[in-house]
Amino acid sequence: MGQGVSCSRSSGEHEFYSAVQSGDLQSVEAALQCEPGLIHRTTIYDRLSALHIAAANGCIEVLSILLDRSVQPDVVNRHKQTPLMLAAMHGKSDCLIKLLEAGANILMFDSLNGRTCLHHASYYGYSDCLQLILSEAQTASLAESWGFARFVNVRDDNGATPLHLAARQGRRDCVHILLENGGIVSATTGTYGFPGSTALHLAARGGNLDCIRELLAWGADRLQRDSAGRIPYEVALKRGHGACAALLNPSAAEPLVWPSPLKFISELDPDAKALLEVALMEANREREKNILKGTKYSLPSPTHYDDGADDAASVTSDVELCCICFDQVCTIEVKDCGHQMCAPCTLALCCHSKPNPTTLCLPSPSCPFCRCTISRLVVAMPKMNMDEDSGDKFGSPKLRKSRRSQGFSGCEGSSSFMGILGKLGRASGRKNEPDDLMDKP
């Protein structure tokens, strides 16, 4: 080969990898000009290619020129890990996007634990990467060949789904995204019918209160036993996670469960969904307060709770109060009949019965005002001062914001309705307990 002194093999290779790692585009190009073969070489021990190094370090420019020079996007290292997996492990979403554009395969398994890029994104808690991979999985080819639902619940060599890993590591956002995309909340790590741990067991083990809340709100079963015969409550107790144990105690009040089996709930627009989700969190937080009352545990302050309590009260007179609780502002409208109510009341209406265990179907609730069956919910249009907001059908963003914070913040403190909500949650739980325990055909 006709290279000069600076292109001697060992030093050239070392300089090349350093340049890739630091994202030094000029040096990378110079090195490749000098010795084009470098692009296909790997490090000696870990067998990392330049593409792996660029992806792990988020060097998007270097990654791009490597891909432009037709480097195979799915080249694997010593542990059969692809650059895509490394980007997911390190949260390098730019590189992840670029690799996906270049045709990287999301359904590759590494040889360490048989994990996919979805496992890695969940384990390390990079929710943006997780979301990107899930979007990619919805594309026709994978959805057809493997099925989207199967991909979301893909197991590693230990039987762990991405949801198990996210719960174990305390990645609340990832837990949420996975559940929303069809992650099976009751899946166990046991294979071939053997018992194993659920995500709730793993969250209990790690003492991840946020993840426990999230899982319970998606209907995780507090009575399921792991391979050692323990329920999540016992796991939390043994590990000394007192507050978690209090919520997992089967004799404590049951939380409200997000009514995901309802068709119109899965079709909610993002704004209406956000309102109802916050109402659910608030109702369950109220329940938690009651559970933890008298114990030495207190709740940490909510992670993303939009507190608009101060400015809310001043505008209360302008807007219409919910005719069910006379406490909150109407934020949700039943599209079919136009009747409005507040988010907590809407939620209570949707959560008051549990899904039928045999069909996983919820009976559709009906409007409390006219008894018509609810098939669509939208964010309520303000009924006041409409002429001031000419043009925008849904009111100005500012108005909506104040309405929203108002609706939420009113839940803080003990409104009488929260008591009703709590009772509703408990009552429905008690009523349905026999159903849960019995194996009906």
**Residue numbers at the binding site for Zn ion (CB under 5 A):** 322, 324-325, 328, 337, 339, 342, 345, 367, 369-370
Helical residues (DSSP H) of 181-224, grouped into ranges: 199-206, 209-217
- For CA atoms 21, 24, 26, 30, the dihedral sign is negative
Which is closer to Zn ion, CB of 369 or CB of 394?
369
Which is closer to Zn ion, CB of 361 or CB of 370?
370
User: What minimum distance in Å lies between the beta carbon of 326 and Zn ion?
Assistant: 7
Percent of the chain as helix, strand, coil, to the nearest 5: 50, 5, 45
Which is closer to Zn ion, CB of 162 or CB of 344?
344
User: What minimum distance in Å lies between the beta carbon of 347 and Zn ion?
Assistant: 10
User: What minimum distance in Å lies between the beta carbon of 321 and Zn ion?
Assistant: 8
Which one-letter amino acid corresponds to residue 376?
A: R
Which is closer to Zn ion, CB of 53 or CB of 379?
379
User: What minimum distance in Å lies between the beta carbon of 328 and Zn ion?
Assistant: 5
Concatenated DSSP letters of 349-362: HHHSSPPBTTTTBP
The H or E element containing residue 333 is: strand 332-334
User: What minimum distance in Å lies between the beta carbon of 422 and Zn ion?
Assistant: 14
In the structure encoding, which two tokens stand for residue 351, read together?
Answer: 């959560």
Which is closer to Zn ion, CB of 107 or CB of 309?
309
- Alpha-carbon distance of 45 to 39, in angstroms, equals 17
User: What minimum distance in Å lies between the beta carbon of 384 and Zn ion?
Assistant: 17
Instruction: Write b or e for each residue in 392-421: b if 16 or more Cβ atoms lie within 10 A of its Cβ, otherwise e.
Output: eeebeeebbebbbbbbbbbbbeebebbebb
Q: Do 402 and 311 meet the contact criterion of CB atoms below 8 Å apart?
A: yes
Crossing angle between the packed helical segments 127-137 and 172-180, to the nearest 10 degrees: 20
Q: Do 105 and 133 meet the contact criterion of CB atoms below 8 Å apart?
A: no
Q: How many CA atoms lie within 13 A of 30 on its CB side?
A: 11
The H or E element containing residue 341 is: strand 340-341
- Alpha-carbon distance of 368 to 349, in angstroms, equals 8
- Alpha-carbon distance of 177 to 150, in angstroms, equals 15
Which is closer to Zn ion, CB of 119 or CB of 339?
339
Which is closer to Zn ion, CB of 176 or CB of 287?
287
User: What minimum distance in Å lies between the beta carbon of 330 and Zn ion?
Assistant: 8
Which is closer to Zn ion, CB of 281 or CB of 322?
322
User: What minimum distance in Å lies between the beta carbon of 284 and Zn ion?
Assistant: 17
